[in-house]
């Protein structure tokens, strides 16, 4: 499964491809791809959904890749949460 997001990073609208690469009962791994870079993010939101905590957001963790701008990472995460 893949989808596209368009967060505004450093004043520019950036189109990124997001792909669900791994899914278990409690974890999901998403790969975010740009032209020449990729990031892998992990979330445990399925754990909270399975326990009936629908309003609690999962914790996100950067597994691989480099992103020097923490604000950009937060915008990417918010855009992904808006799509899933």
The helix (H) or strand (E) run that includes residue 49 is helix 45-50
pTM of the model: 0.88
Domain that holds residue 7: 2-83
Q: State the DSSP string of 59-77.
A: PEEEEES----HHHHHHHH
Tell me what pLDDT residue 52 has.
Answer: 85
Residue 30's pLDDT band (cuts 50, 70, 90): very high
pLDDT at 13 over 90: yes
Number of separate domains in the chain:
1
> If we measure between CA atoms, which residue out of 33, 27, 16 comes closest to residue 60?
27
- Under DSSP, the state recorded for 45 is H
Predicted confidence band of residue 68 (pLDDT cuts 50, 70, 90): confident
Q: Average pLDDT in the 17-29 region? A: 94
In the numeric block, which tokens belong to residue 23? 């899914």
């Amino acid at each position: 499964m893949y989808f596209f997001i368009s967060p505004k990073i450093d004043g520019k609208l950036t189109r990124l491809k997001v792909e669900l690469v791994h899914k278990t009962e409690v974890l999901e791994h998403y790969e975010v791809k740009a032209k020449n870079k990729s990031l892998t993010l992990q979330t445990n939101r399925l754990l909270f959904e399975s326990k009936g905590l629908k309003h609690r957001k999962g914790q996100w963790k950067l597994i691989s890749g480099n992103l020097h701008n923490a604000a950009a990472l937060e915008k990417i995460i918010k855009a992904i949460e808006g799509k899933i």
